[in-house]
Amino acid sequence: MKKYTVAVLGATGAVGQEMINGLQERKFPVGKLIPLASSRSAGKTLKFNGEDVTIQLACEEAFEGVDIVLGAAENDIAEKFAPAIVKAGAIFVDNSSAFRLDPKVPLIVPEVNPEDVKWHNGIISNPNCSTIITMTAVNALNSLSPIRTMTTSTYQAVSGAGAEGPVELMNEVEALREGKTYQPKVFSHQIAYNLIPQIGGEQFEGYTSEEMKMQNEGRKIMHLPELKVSCTCVRVPVVRSHSISVSCHFDIPVTVEQVREVLAKAPGVKLVDDLANKQYPMPLDTSNQDLVFVGRIRPDLTDDCGICLWCCGDQVRKGAAINAIQIAELLIEK
């Protein structure tokens, strides 16, 4: 089997570390791993397949001889190094939002639009975490009738804000238990015992940038340019795994039985839908694995052509790192 030189840009962050773990777990054919990070981490080592690998400084020269770059860095870093990556002949699978809506860059969820990998020009974008989880959950329903509109609410774990998110939640819980005050630094308000109905800044008609991703990215991924999505994004005091409430609206009536049958066979999906026995997707059950759990399937009582469902998925794994590795797997398959 051919081996590939793989670089991870942003190797020391939560997503970068999960990418490295995922490459090992999925036995990706890595001939050489090149972890890249800032000068703060360069020179340190990490374990990969039982061996110590030295973290290198992220610079333009670092991509020479690399086949695939998995990006786990912020937009500015992705934009800075993308030209050098492409010039070096590597393929950049980028987890930032820098290129997601660029018409020349594929935006891929492998269970939804794997064929789009064929038209890349050196850069492929990984979608937003909540978008990946939702698209994986609902895409198969397009076989019943094209989805025309969706109303969604996301309940996003604190780890979605980075490694400091869970730390702040735990610190607040401890401070409150001791009767002390705690000044939030990561979130705009106290997150312990609270919900914050804003993720991202205002972008359009009172919707935030995070909320608009569900529509704009969903259109591109599912090849539904007229799709309309009304989304509300909420930060919740959950450590890991995002949850999404979805109401899908179709051209024709779709039954609960049809939806269950389709989702039971859908790639990347695990059907967990037994209300009588209290079986439904929950963040604790969906963390540290790569399937999207779907349940609470029921008719939308406001629309004869609507279906409601609830889904959960690990936003660090399937919502970021593992989806990127699955894209890389598509690249070597095709």
pLDDT tens-digit map of 66-119: 999 999 999 999 999 999 999 999 999 999 999 999 999 999 999 999 999 999
Active site residue 242: yes
What φ, ψ does residue 308 adopt, rounded to 5°? -105, 145
Choosing from 129, 248, 308, 312, the catalytic residue is 129
pTM of the model: 0.96
User: CATH says 132-314 is which class?
Assistant: alpha beta
Tokens 């990418």: give the residue: 19
pLDDT tens-digit map of 8-32: 999 999 999 999 999 999 999 999 9
Domain boundaries, the chain: 4-127+320-333, 132-314
Active site residue 249: no
Going by C-alpha positions, the residue among 137, 113, 134, 112 that lies closest to residue 271 is: 137
Confidence check: pLDDT of 42 > 80:
yes
Q: Which residues contact 260 (CB under 8 A, 6 or more apart)?
A: 271, 273, 297
CA-to-CA distance for 147 and 260, rounded, in angstroms?
16
Report the percent of the chain where pLDDT is more than 90: 99
Does 4-127+320-333 carry CATH code 1.20.1260.10?
no
Choosing from 120, 242, 249, 312, the catalytic residue is 242
